Amino acid sequence: MHIRKNDDDGFTLIELLVVIAILGLLIGLVAPAALRQLSGAKETIARQSIQRLGQVLDLYRLDVGSYPSTDEGLNALSTKPADANNWNGPYLKGAQEPRDPWNHPFIYRNPSERQGFDYDLCSRGSHGNAANAGEEICNH
């Protein structure tokens, strides 16, 4: 005599829906925190990039005697300006203008528009437009 064993090794629809609902709740709770971390990381990278570019600008000034003008911009670190007699570059690898973590060009102004600074080197943050100038991340 055979005893029939009822082996249901699968999941019921209710069990699957419960698991999907739990996963949805977890993603809903974790995703915003992860996105905040990513945004904070890009700001940190922007600050570090500005600091490193500032050190490169200091090397340029030691060689040439002054920082590049606003018109020469950061391109003066890769391509010799016409009036830079003691230029000892290129100071940056590659011929492209440096970009912030949001792929926007850095803003460079010499002389500075801020009191107590020789030049301004800024990123406009994630928006990258003049309307959000209050969100600029600048050299210290």
Residue 21 has pLDDT above 70, yes or no: yes
What is the model's pTM?
A: 0.68
Domains and CATH numbers, the chain: 15-138 (3.30.700.10)
Q: How far apart are CA 127 and CA 130, in angstroms?
A: 9
Mapping DSSP to helix (H, G, I), strand (E, B) and coil, where does residue 23 land? helix
| C-beta separation of 47 from 137 below 8 A | yes
List of residues 6+ apart from 75 with CB closer than 8 A: 97
Percent of the residues in the chain that have a pLDDT greater than 90, as a whole number: 31
Phi then psi for 84, rounded to 5 degrees?
-95, 90
Q: How far apart are CA 67 and CA 119, in angstroms?
A: 8
Distance of alpha carbon 34 from its chain centroid, rounded?
Answer: 16
Tens digit of each residue's pLDDT (9 = 90 or more) over 85-102: 889 888 888 778 899 998
Structure tokens at 118: 């020789």
Work out the number of other CB atoms within 10 angstroms of the CB of residue 126: 15
